[in-house]
Chain A
């Protein structure tokens, strides 16, 4: 029944991959606008999820209230990260920005551990419906909700970027930050709001992931940062479409690798693919030498 296994793995991979895609969308928005890496992205999500979990454990808050707490919590913590790690730094201090976001990663994670010291905490499940049977394949209902939510959010973000005034401003800042400032776009405000938006999308991703697992572990911050980064890089950096493709690709790849090779090798395969793509596919990526040079010339001469 190898064909069934393949199909089932692919299906499972797509479902998990949809959560990676959501993480990658948030990462891509931040990277696009800031041109800098936000290592505290995963911990931001962790903060939101932990606040929601604490509300669940302490008051047994209903799931929609928890959803609101997670999303708003992530957005507020995202704002904090933006204030401390990104707003004060110009383009010239990209490394400082990134290292500052790492410092806040450590800080947020320790704060979260004070909130909920146990390694593993319960989270309300999304649905308790039984899995759907499609021919020989099984499909978890909550996974289906996650996929649907991903597509919905991706569609909403795409529409927002393409059709609204603020979306247009974001794209302008991504393409031509200096020109955007000249035509009167308040670049700093756009950056801040993008950050909040991306963190909220991340919070939503965190909520969906925690709810389908019905638990949260202390690893969620690190997990979200690395998975989101890898998915974003696989997608080629810079577009919502690429982020979705990267996320789904990573999910499917991991599902197959896990089935055939076990969980350790699964992670190795994902990193290996990323390494090979970066190292041996220079034409498709921005890292190519000639392009680097002309870009630098265009920018500076």
Chain B
């Protein structure tokens, strides 16, 4: 495989984590403009762990993901009872605070004769774990997809459990769910924790793949794109957000068909698509049809 293709594939993989993170909250009925904050936390924490503390990659990614999840939990305590635009704005406010905090964050130390660490607006450079340990681009790409597949598999399994159905019930009508005995606040809290951890994992991968992360890497554009991917690809299944990422980055950006006019084409397409399918291509209706068709085929095969 050539380098360009691997780069594009890696990008799709990394952005998918943030898209899945926004998707988890969308399922619970909350619109977050701030999942990029947890992506940033994961990136910085995991980067610091491998560069400054010389941790192995797996431990660093896990720690970054946990730190992001913990932050999401704390933010959730303060924001989860808000709804609609109030929740969206509170999450955006938190994400902007974190981005500016990263601009102010300087933590430099001498590591093996090189001055390393986050350096304010200039960001955190030389996160060279993959390089130092002689991973090939293909191998790093495989690591991204192995982790993405794991997260997707977990999400798909959860969606088929009672808890997954509860999440969807809360997303559609929280009051009705509550009347039926579902503790809306605690389910939303678990969703927020999970969403934060997923975004944090993506951030940790990003920092190591790109070898740097800067405050600009997780501005509002990342958050709103992540939200849009779920709505483009569809909210009926966890594959929806991935499809959204594939359409945007995979089809439009990488093929450069509309070079220089990509957003003019893409923006118009998305607006028209949403008119036809307000909950995306793979929405609940489409997913239900596909499931029934598959079941019929399986039954016929028996």
Contacts and interface: CB of A to CB of B under 8 A. Distances in A.
Nearest to B280: A96
Contact of B89 (A97, A102, A265, A274): A274
Interface stretch (B12-20, B96-104, B149-157): B96-104
A102 B97 contact: no
A131 interface: no
B contacts with A: majority SS: helix
Interface in A91-146: 92-100, 102-111, 114
A151 B223 CA distance: 35
Contacts of B96: 267-268, 271
B267 interface: yes
Interface in A63-101: 84-85, 88-89, 92-100
A37 B84 CA distance: 10
Interface in B207-249: 220, 224, 227-228, 231-232
B275 interface: yes
B51 interface: no
Given A84-B271, A106-B267, A287-B82, A279 B90 contact: yes
Contacts of A108: 267
Interface residues of A, number: 55
A100 to B, nearest CB: 4
B101 A85 contact: no
B274 A99 contact: yes
B278 A106 contact: no
Contacts of A98: 31
A237 B93 CA distance: 16
B97 A268 contact: yes
B263 interface: yes
Best-surrounded residue of A268, A275, A285, A289 (most CB of chain B within 10 A):
A275
A14 to B, nearest CB: 23
A272 B174 CA distance: 29
B259 to A, nearest CB: 12
- Size band of the interface chain B makes with A: 35 or more
Contacts of A285: 82, 86
Nearest to B267: A107
A233 B264 contact: no
Nearest to A89: B278
Nearest to A88: B275
A207 to B, nearest CB: 25
Contacts of A286: 86
Interface string B252-265: 00000000111110
For the residues of A in contact with B, the DSSP-based class is helix
Contacts of A268: 96-97, 100-101
Contact of A107 (B103, B175, B228, B263): B263
Contact of A103 (B84, B228, B260): B228
Contacts of B220: 222, 226
A278 B274 contact: no
B15 to A, nearest CB: 15
A268 B99 CA distance: 9
Contact of A282 (B81, B104, B275): B81
A107 B264 contact: yes
B224 A39 contact: yes
Contacts of A265: 100, 104
B145 interface: no
A94 B84 CA distance: 9
Contact of A99 (B78, B174, B268, B270): B270
B88 interface: yes
Nearest to B26: A95
Interface string A145-187: 0000000000000000000000000000000000000000000
B168 interface: no
A105 to B, nearest CB: 7
Interface in B173-211: 174-175
A288 B80 CA distance: 11
A32 B59 CA distance: 49
Contacts of A272: 93, 97
Contacts of A267: 96, 100
A275 B270 contact: no
Contacts of B55: none
A282 to B, nearest CB: 7
A31 B78 CA distance: 24
Nearest to B262: A110
Interface in B47-94: 78-79, 81-90, 92-94
Interface string A260-301: 000011011001101100111010011111001100110010
The 8 lowest CB-CB distance pairs between A and B, nearest first, are A107-B267, A103-B270, A279-B78, A96-B278, A110-B263, A93-B278, A275-B93, A287-B82
30 contacts: A37-B88, A84-B272, A89-B274, A92-B278, A96-B274, A96-B279, A97-B274, A99-B232, A99-B270, A100-B270, A100-B271, A100-B274, A103-B266, A103-B271, A104-B267, A107-B267, A107-B271, A108-B267, A226-B220, A230-B93, A233-B89, A271-B94, A271-B100, A278-B86, A278-B90, A282-B82, A287-B82, A287-B87, A288-B81, A292-B83
